[in-house]
Structure formats: C-alpha cells, structure tokens
Structure 1
Amino acid sequence: MKLTDLYIDKKQIYSSQISDIYSAKDVKTNTTVCLKIVDVDFSIPPHSIKREIQLVKRLSPHPRIIDYVGGLQIDDDIILVTTLYKHNLSELVKLPRYCKRTTKFDFTNGTHAYIDRNIIDESDIKQWLKQMSCGLKYIHNSGIIHRDIKPSNIMFVNDDITQPIIGDFGISYDVNNDINSGELATEKYIDVCTGIFKSPELLLGITDYLYEIDIWSLAIILTILYSPNFESVLIKQDEELSNDEIECVISDLHLLSNIFKTFGTPSVTDVTSELYWEELTSKTSHFTKFKLIEHNRLDDSQLIPRCEDKSIGFLFRKMTKYDRTTRVTSEEIYSELTNQ
C-alpha cells in the first residue's frame, strides 16, 4: 500500500529533524487531515511517535485534545493522522482580532519595523486559562505529563482564543507505564520542554518531577498573553534575546539566571518566604554551594502587566511557586475558575 492510496494533495506544513508535518486529503472521507510522519528508524529519546500515537488514541475524543484519526506504518514511515487545525497560539495572537499592528519608520536609516500591540480581552485570557486547565486536568488525571506545553503546541479550530486544543504528545510521559517508556519514575529525562517554557526544577536536574512542570509552562504563556506587546517576561530581563526567540533552545544556566531575576532567587533558609524551596536544602542538590545574587520577585504588574483580575494574579503566583509541592494543580486551577 502507498500513502497516495489513502491521502492525496499532500502539502508540507512543517519539517524538522524529528518529523515532517503535512496537510492532506483523506481519499475515503474527502476531509482534510494532518499527517505527522516519522521515519521508523528515528529514535532519539524522549521522542517516540509510537508512544504518541498510543497516547493520542487513548485521550481522544476530548474537546481540549487533538482528535485522533488514525495511526499506520507505510514502508519506513510511521504516521499519526489527526484533525488539521487552522491556527496555533503563536499564529492566532497575531491576527487582527487580537493584535493591532502599527509601522514605525526610521527616517535616518530608511527602514521600518512592525509593532504589535496586544488587544486580547482579559475575559478571553481567563477563559483560555480555564479551558487549558480543563485539558491539562484530563491529561494529568490520565497519568500523562505533557512535557512540552508551548504556544505552537496549542491549536485552534478557528480564530477563537477561548477554545484551545492541546497537541503534540511526542515527548509525553506515561506515569502508569514508565517501564515501557525507558524512563524510571525517579530518573526521567530533563531534556524536555522548549526554551523559556522549561521549569526551574528541570534546569536544576531534578528527575522525579511530575505534572507540575506543565503548570510552570502554562504560567509562562500567561506572561505573554498579559504582555502589552506579547513580549515574554523572561525575554524582557535579557537584552541578548529578541522576542522572536521565545521558543528557542538557550543555555539552561542562562535561562535559570533569567528566571531568578524575574521570579526571585530561591531561598533555602527563610521558611516563611514564598521563594523558599526546601528541596534545594538537600546536599545532593549542591544549590547551597553557589554564591548567587539575591533577586526579589518582580511585582505582578511587571510579570502580567495587563492583568487586573486579582483572582488570576493569585493563581499565577501559585503556578510559579518554586516549591513544586505547593504549586497549584491543573485541577485546582480549573475548579477555581469554574466556581467564580
């Protein structure tokens, strides 16, 4: 059997060393679908197309999870077939509905630049967070850590930001099936999450993490949605990076430094501080050996400047707790927003 026997009009959407993504038309149903194609010989843990197919099939159908259509192997290609979505979050926020673009002209150099102003309503961001926490609650209650929550992995059927759909389970971890994943519960891969969305515990080499790393990633997206110009709060602390690089791979130590400048330097002595992180008092963490500059946490007006909703500010502070045992869960976020 050939792929063209099942799908025609294939058009490439994205390509990487890991996979190729295409839109295509299903010959039988005449509907447009998304094909994620990975070579059968590709094996760079924690990436696994076979595990991704199993997880998406298991989680589907759910309104906040990408729709599973099928999984198959043709010759040397393993293929995950899902619904094709119109936008991801990175693309959606740049649409006129949510972004006002102006042009700034430099008369001296004869050049111009675009300035994007965020005009997303606070009520829409709040609803986005509610629906994202609904999806994550379902994922986490199913025993799955997503491990790559970021704007390009959040999909939309149309241009409505209040209806997010979580995609790309390529590096997800199945808590209830850790033996088959090749990762022990206490020795999980830390080379997960992307760029600035990586949590501090991953950066410090903590390997027994759980669902809380997804919550940190979700909080960092909030700093972008509540920014006047979609600029990440972590990028603002760093003159070496542009906002176009928010999903780039940067040095873990460099990112950790930016996190401490932004959210404050963790404390291992003051148990009453919101920055207290008991886990780092362990001799095995080596954290106490470092001579770090002590930074205070920035105010919410700097972290999520467009947010005037105190309940969101309260949740955001709990989402960005260093002590992961006190970090709010997806279920608690959803419950809090549902009861308001």
Structure 2
Amino acid sequence: MDFSAVKGLPYKPVRKLGNGSFGEVFLMEHIRSPNITAAVKVLEVDYIRKAEILEEFHLHKKLCRTVHQNIINLYWMHRTSDCIYFVMEDVDGGTLFEKFVTNKIEPPAAQHYFKQLVAGLKYIHGQGIVHRDIKPENLLITSKDELKICDFGAAMRYRYGAEEILLGSGVGSAEYMAPELYTSLKCRGPPLDVWSAGVTLMHIVSGLQLWKYADMESPGYVNWIEGRTFDRRPWDEMDAPLIKLLRRVVTEKVNKRWTIERIEKCKWMKFDYGPIKKNKQK
C-alpha cells in the first residue's frame, strides 16, 4: 500500500512493526519532519467491521483523555473510503514477548514489568473498560523499560455507571483466555484480564507455555489446577511468594481469583529485589 498517496495522512512508512487486531502496524515518519515518528495501525474497512473499528477508537481515545504511562497513547484517527488509520505513540523497545522469546525473564525484571501491567489494568478497569487480549505481544516496552498496553481491538465496556455488564465468551488469544470463556455462561470482565495477566507472568518467568486452551482436554492445564506442576523445574526453584501469586491469579475459581487490588498488596509485589539487571537475550 502506498501511504504517500493517502490524502491527509502526512506520514510515510519506515517498516512494518507487526499485526494488531484485524490490521497491520507500521512505523512511520512525518513527510516534512522525519524526526517525528508514529506507530500507525492500518485497518481495512468493510460495512460490518466499520462500527467495531470506530468503537475501538472511541474506547482507546477515552483511555487517553488522561495520559497514563502504561497505556499506549492514541493521537488521532484518519479515514478514507477503504481504510482507517490510528496514529499512535511510537514505542522504541519492542514487545514484552521479544524480551523473553529466547530466554525467560528473571523474577526481578518480571516484577518490574508486572507491576506496570497491573497499574495499567487498574486504570483501564477504572474507566469501565476491559481489554480482553492481554498477552506479551500486546505489551510494548520503551527504551527506558516502561511497559505500555496496546491493541484495544477486543476491548469493550463492562460497566455503565454503577451497572456491571456480564460479557460473552470466545474473545482473546487462546493461550491467555480464562477457562470461564470456554463455557456458555456470561462472565465478569476484570477477572478475564487478571487471568491473562497471570498467564503472561507465568509465561515470562518460566519461558514455558503450559497449555493452548484452559480446558480439561489440556494435560498441562489440568496439572496446573490440580497442583501437580509445582514440584517440577523451573517452578520448584521459584520464590514461594511468586508461586502463591501465580496460584491465586491463574485459578479456575473465578470467585477466588485475586483482584487487581489484592495483587497490589501481595508479598511478591512488595518484595525489594534491588536494582533491575537488563535481561539478556541469547
């Protein structure tokens, strides 16, 4: 696609950064001022998806009314007859997934990132919105090691004023989807993000993905919920407070799953590891 030919979009592509929900994301530089860069998400529009894309924009823009350091900033939207462009903050450090794809992240650095993820989710939920697709690929890392949540293509409102709306099933990335999403029951929004955040933490500290689907057909999942995982490496080498956090967050019992506020108060989140060492990839 020749972006230089898009009327009203004063950017030209530098390189592709990745794929978002139903679209591609490009690093672009301003045509007249190349030192000004932005991440531009390009979404092809049809009649069915137009409303969904506009809802994504409005939800993301709502979150950006107050700048939060752990939410990717959305500047503006450009529309043509066949595409919609989200012009966003350029984050220069890649994704959390890229931080550990060849090497697990040690607990001190994992805690550093997880605290920021929890802070971002607390803000999102406070705005009555649930993300529904938390995973390492949707967590951007700046060169200063700040974490920013991105890709709100699956986000939706779960609260209108004081009224909480129960959500349907089947949205998100399979490896990070909570088990209640595989039932026919409606479910609460915030616990879905808590589960996904917990699986993300589990993934980055171990370097392992224990299951594809959180259902009883997955042996890795069954072993986890029945407690048969923790006497094996690398789990038996981890701090007890970290294991406790993982067990309380990645639990199929929704009514016992820790809330964001409870996570903030837990022992592992308050533990002082000292200065964070940069994670080295192999």
Output the CA distance in 2 between the equivalents of 1:71 and 1:149: 23
- Counterpart residue number, 1:221: 200
Contact 2:29 2:37 survives alignment (8 Å):
yes
**Could you tell me which amino acid in structure 2 is paired with residue 324 of structure 1?**
V
CA 1:55 to 1:64, structure 2 compared with 1: closer, same or farther past 3 Å? Answer: same
Contact 1:148 1:193 survives alignment (8 Å):
yes
Q: Counterparts in 2 of 1:72-151, with a 5 A limit?
A: 72-86=78-92, 87-94=94-101, 116-118=102-104, 120-151=105-136
Output the CA distance in 1 between the equivalents of 2:85 and 2:97: 25
Deviation at 1:190, TM superposition (A): 1.4
Larger radius of gyration: 1
Contact 1:34 1:81 survives alignment (8 Å):
yes
For structure 2, the 5+ residue unaligned runs are 272-282
Compare 302-311 and 58-67 and name the one that shifted more.
302-311
Deviation at 1:125, TM superposition (A): 1.1
Picking from 263, 268, 275, the partner of 1:333 is 263
Q: TM-score, with normalisation over the residues of structure 1? A: 0.67
Write out per-residue CA displacement over residues 209-241 of structure 1, whole angstroms, 9 at most, x where no aligned residue.
Answer: 2210111111112222221xx22122xxxxxxx
Contact 1:146 1:214 survives alignment (8 Å):
yes
Contact 1:146 1:172 survives alignment (8 Å):
yes
- Secondary structure of 2:256's counterpart equals coil
- Counterpart residue number, 1:185: 165
Q: TM-score, with normalisation over the residues of structure 2? A: 0.80
Output the CA distance in 2 between the equivalents of 1:216 and 1:57: 25
Output the CA distance in 1 between the equivalents of 2:135 and 2:176: 7
Deviation at 1:82, TM superposition (A): 0.7
Deviation at 1:71, TM superposition (A): 1.4
Output the CA distance in 2 between the equivalents of 1:159 and 1:301: 36
Aligned pair count reads 260
Write out per-residue CA displacement over residues 11-34 of structure 1, whole angstroms, 9 at most, x where no aligned residue.
Answer: 333357921222211346541111
For structure 1, the 5+ residue unaligned runs are 95-115, 179-183, 235-249, 265-295
Contact 2:71 2:150 survives alignment (8 Å):
yes
Contact 2:191 2:257 survives alignment (8 Å):
yes
1:261 corresponds to 2:222: yes
Write out per-residue CA displacement over residues 266-304 of structure 1, whole angstroms, 9 at most, x where no aligned residue.
Answer: xxxxxxxxxxxxxxxxxxxxxxxxxxxxxx322434486
CA 1:170 to 1:257, structure 2 compared with 1: closer, same or farther past 3 Å? Answer: same
- Counterpart residue number, 2:230: 300
| Structure with bigger RCO (C-alpha 8 Å, 6+ apart) | 2
- Secondary structure of 1:81's counterpart equals strand
- Counterpart residue number, 2:154: 171
Deviation at 1:310, TM superposition (A): 2.3
- Counterpart residue number, 2:10: 6
**Could you tell me which amino acid in structure 1 is paired with residue 57 of structure 2?**
I
Compare 306-315 and 76-85 and name the one that shifted more.
306-315
Picking from 34, 52, 57, the partner of 2:61 is 57
Deviation at 1:78, TM superposition (A): 1.4
**Could you tell me which amino acid in structure 1 is paired with residue 205 of structure 2?**
Y
Write out per-residue CA displacement over residues 161-201 of structure 1, whole angstroms, 9 at most, x where no aligned residue.
Answer: xx3211111011112359xxxxx934x33121102111110
- Counterpart residue number, 1:267: none
Contact 2:177 2:213 survives alignment (8 Å):
no
- Counterpart residue number, 1:32: 37
- Counterpart residue number, 2:276: none
- Secondary structure of 1:226's counterpart equals helix
Deviation at 1:315, TM superposition (A): 1.6
Percent sequence identity is 22
- Secondary structure of 2:22's counterpart equals coil
Deviation at 1:339, TM superposition (A): 4.7
